[in-house]
Amino acid sequence: MKKYKICVYAISKNEEQFVNRWCNSMKEADKIFVLDTGSNDKTVEKLKENGVNVKQQIIDPWRFDVARNLSLDMVDEDADICICTDLDEVFEPGWRKELEQQWCNDTTRARYNYNWSLDKDNKPLVNFFIEKIHTRNNYKWTHPVHEVLTYLNGNENTITLNNITLNHYPDINKSRSSYLPLLELSVKEDPEDDRNMHYLGREYMYYGKWEESIKTLEKHLSLPKATWKDERCASMRFISRCYQKLNDYEQARKWLFKAIEEAPYLRDPYMEMALLEYKLKNYKEVEKFCLKALRINSHQKTYINEVFSWNETVYDLLSISCFYLDKIDYAIYFVDKALEMKPNDQRLIGNRKLFIEKETN
């Protein structure tokens, strides 16, 4: 097995709580480089204690792509493989051996498993591939936020590493207030970029800017480059959510039917429709769309996946709907399925007790 010079690089700001765990996870690399962008806690001190090469620089105005590129510039020119991670991420052990076994001289990039969200038992809730392992040259980070690693010229050769997994353990209290202005800037710089148009529409939704979100997501759907059906489906689902907030349930339902038509192989639009019908107390429709969702067993490895599409929600909705449809046996069956996935949920336990009482009487 050939030995490669492998370097990890990252950016940081006020992340002392993650430093030791992150360094321990990255120590299989030959060198670790971090660009700190203005920490006022002990992040830099702890990184240096762990032997990390640290440089400090304030970036004003702030852009993620500028910061990423400056951190990449820190990496030795003779590095064979570069790995970009964040300090709230952790590689599962043994990643270097797997990387060196699979990497070839003509490889330029690698994709690997990313658990973006995990439950309290460390089981993945949202899992997809990311591609932040790459050669030292010919790559550049682009876009001020939701930055992407862009190949500059020549033929890119990407390999898939199914046995490398990076887990994400975010600080839920960390502000994302910079995202909206940076996304607006990103779309202004490249109005034809479908990815960030989608992200901007989603961000408007997060901020409760319902009309602006609808307008932006419809713009995303109109872009020539917007061909990825999973993402188009997500834009349609988000438009539906906005119309629900505006109490226009006819339009909300219309957009969910479009989402189902766009990507009938995904659970998400069926589950969103079930949730909408549940809100409107149309229990027969809830049952119908939940059962359609359950027919889909293939969990697509994309960031688009919704947690509620694959957790206990589908069985929870089915149990309640069957209860109101006077299908008590089914209500008990489905609440038991939900409890298998979430055994300590007191509401589910209470529902089961209610269903049993109804069956008994």
Q: Say yes or no to pLDDT of 337 above 90.
A: yes
- Would 208 be classed as within a structural domain? yes
What per-residue confidence (pLDDT) applies to 330? 97
pLDDT in tens, 73-114: 999 999 999 999 999 999 999 999 999 999 999 999 999 999
Q: 139 and 37 share a domain?
A: yes
Whether residue 34 is found in the same domain as residue 127:
yes
Q: Are 303 and 199 members of one domain?
A: yes
Given a cut of 90, whether residue 176 has pLDDT beyond it is: no
Sign of CA dihedral 24, 26, 30, 33: negative
In a domain, 72, yes or no: yes
Record the tokens describing residue 179, joined without a space.
């995202």
- Do 194 and 294 belong to one domain? yes
Asked if the model's pLDDT at residue 16 lies above 80, the reply is yes
Domain shared by 148 and 274, yes or no: no
For the chain, what's the residue count? 361
Residue 218 is predicted with a pLDDT of 98
Q: What would the mean pLDDT of 179-201 be, rounded to a whole number?
A: 96
pLDDT in tens, 156-171: 999 999 999 999 999 8
Question: Is 344 inside any structural domain?
Answer: no
DSSP string, 6-51: EEEEEEESS-HHHHHHHHHHHTTSSEEEEEE----SSHHHHHHHTT
Residues 223 and 101 in one domain: no
Query: Average of pLDDT values for 149-160?
Result: 94
Asked if the structure places residue 351 within a domain, the reply is no
User: Helix, strand, or coil here: 158?
Assistant: strand
Task: Let me know whether 155 and 191 are in one domain.
Answer: no
Question: Would you state the pLDDT for residue 329?
Answer: 96
In which band, very low, low, confident or very high, does the pLDDT at 30 lie, cut at 50, 70 and 90? very high
Please identify, among 122, 141, 168, the residue that sits at the C-terminal boundary of a domain. Answer: 168
Split at pLDDT 50, 70, 90, the class of 360 is confident
| DSSP notation for 164-218 | EEEEE---TT---TTHHHHHHHHHHH-TT-HHHHHHHHHHHHHTT-HHHHHHHHH
Question: Does residue 241 lie within any of the structural domains?
Answer: yes
Which residue segment(s) compose the domain that 245 sits in?
A: 179-310
181 band by pLDDT with thresholds 50, 70 and 90:
very high
Do residues 11 and 129 both lie within one domain? yes
Residue 57 lies in a domain: yes
This prediction has a pTM of 0.90
Per-residue pLDDT band at 314 (split at 50, 70, 90): very high
Give the confidence band of 125 by pLDDT, cuts at 50, 70, 90: confident
pLDDT at 359: 82
- Same domain? 124 vs 235: no
Distance of CA 134 to the CA centre of its chain: 21
Which residue type is seen at 260? I
pLDDT at 325: 97
- 3-state SS assignment for residue 335: helix
Q: What CATH number is given to the structural domain containing 82?
A: 3.90.550.10
Total domains present in the chain = 2
Question: What is the C-alpha to C-alpha distance for residues 179 and 183, in angstroms, rounded to an integer?
Answer: 6
Domain CATH number, residue 234: 1.25.40.10
